Structure 1
Amino acid sequence: MTASLLTVARHAHPSGADVVKVGGELDQHTSPHLTEVLDGVHLTPGTTLVVDLSGLMYCDSTGLTVLIGLYQRSEAAGAPLVLAGLEKELLRIFRVTGLDELFTLRATVEEALAL
């Protein structure tokens, strides 16, 4: 088996928002890594979490489930969640599944932070 094909980097933005950048392939094999990082994000009321998916090349149903779980957590905490940078194919999946109605989607992290 090869090394993980998923990269996850978390940083605090000067605005106070947390930004998690995800790249590579998000599937049943790599989703535990993303889940671990997201579980480490302390969600607080009014503090925005932006998940930058601009580097994500592939996402299966397991990956979508991780994002839905994050959405549920952020809603319960009163912390706005924004997904940014969805490439054309991933955006199509979100539209087909109706997830574009659930999540706040923005083209870039900058647009997400301007909310």
Structure 2
Amino acid sequence: MIIERHASDDGGVRLRVAGELDMVTADELSAAVSAALADGATAVVADLSGLTFCDSSGIAAMDRSYAEAARAGRTFRITGVHPNVRLVLELTDLYDTLTGT
């Protein structure tokens, strides 16, 4: 998995995530979100348009990232969700929460 970090002018951070988000790489996403929040990001948006696979460990990492941001009074959202990943997120009732819809 590859994660590219881009700061925005409004104090937020966009993470472009590509590859597979699974039990081997889930901690990388969690660490990237934690680092952005520790650096003072007001919001973290994970662009998943390059994500080709996501298992339950990846779903859990996104859920933990959402909770961590909420505890800090900030936001974590996802965008660019592939239809297969969207289906899993909808089945777990996390899609609306993580996309902010």
Regarding TM over 0.5, the answer is yes
TM-score normalised per structure 2? 0.87
Aligned-pair RMSD on alpha carbons? 1.9
Structure 1: any 5+ residue segments left out of the alignment? 1-5, 107-115
Question: Displacement of 1:33 after TM fit?
Answer: 2.1
Tell me which residue corresponds to 1:89.
Answer: 84
1:68 aligned onto 2:63: yes
Tell me which residue corresponds to 2:96.
Answer: 101
Which residues of 2 match residues 1-115 of structure 1 at below 5 A? Answer: 6-42=1-37, 44=40, 47-105=42-100
Identical residues among aligned pairs (%):
29
Q: 2:37·2:69 contact (CA, 8 Å) conserved in 1? A: no
TM-score normalised per structure 1? 0.77
Question: Displacement of 1:92 after TM fit?
Answer: 0.9
Q: 1:53·1:83 contact (CA, 8 Å) conserved in 2? A: yes
Paired residues, number: 100
Secondary structure at the residue paired with 1:82?
strand
Structure 2: any 5+ residue segments left out of the alignment? none
Structure showing greater Rg? 1
